[in-house]
Amino acid sequence: MNNLKKSKIILSLLNKTYPRVPTPLNYKNTFTLLISVLLSAQCTDVNVNNVTKNIYPKYNKPEHFVKLGRKNIENLIKRIGIFRIKAKSIFYLSKILIEKHKGKVPKTYEELEQLPGVGHKTASVVMSQGFGYPAFPVDTHIHRLAQRWGLTNGKNVIQTEKDLKGIFPKKYWNRLHLQIIWYGREYCKARDCYGITCKICKSCYPNRKRPIKTIKA
């Protein structure tokens, strides 16, 4: 089965499964979206949401975090993995936004990726969910599933993003990457489906019998 046929099957099943797709991270504005995505590195979205629900009602602007200082930011997010590194990034990121961008989150990949702690995936999520720009952020879930579904060779997330953008029309990217994340968490789990039991895997590869090994992101 070629990628065009697989893409139609995947889009159809995902649209039926998730006609309305929520964003995994809770946030109040584009700035807090940026902070939440930064915090989600090596951490579950559930943990991030549990921590930020007590932060964002009071602290939701760059000025707030600069005024807090690094130590206070550390105390606020200490239940999150590598919290000291993330607190440092949040503090200096907030300072740069105030000094160079008038307190606003920039709307270009180049400017976003120059901010402390912000890589291409984080920038892609902000461009997609924050500004509505067509983007296809690739996290570990999407990287794994794209391999299981035979959409990429799995060398790295950069290649996976390029391959997925070449297979799916741009108008679906923003919605699709969220649908894939939810589907991977609920139906095509890393230690459950193994590429042979969920509807998408069975539909794309009806004759597959052996578990698929995937390359980590």
Task: Give the pLDDT of residue 154.
Answer: 82
pLDDT averages per 10-residue partition of the chain, 217 residues: 94 97 95 97 94 98 98 97 97 98 97 97 97 94 94 92 96 96 94 94 94 87
Task: State yes or no: is 139 an active-site residue.
Answer: yes
One CATH from 3.30.1490.100, 1.10.8.640, 1.10.1670.10, 1.10.1660.10 for 3-21+136-204:
1.10.1670.10
- Among candidate residues 6, 86, 121, 163, the one labeled active-site is 121
Is there a catalytic annotation at residue 199? Answer: no
The predicted structure's pLDDT at residue 143: 95
Task: Point out the catalytic residue in the list 58, 139, 202, 209.
Answer: 139
Give the tokens for residue 41.
Answer: 């590195």
pLDDT of residue 42: 87
What's the CATH number for 30-130?
A: 1.10.340.30
Let me know: does 80 contact 74? Beta carbons within 8 Å. Answer: no
What are the sequence ranges of the domains in the chain?
3-21+136-204, 30-130
The region that residue 86 occupies, defined by phi over 0 for left and psi between -120 and 50 for alpha, beta otherwise, is alpha
Task: Give me the pLDDT at residue 112, please.
Answer: 98
Q: What is the dihedral of CA 125, 84, 73, 47, to 10 degrees?
A: 50
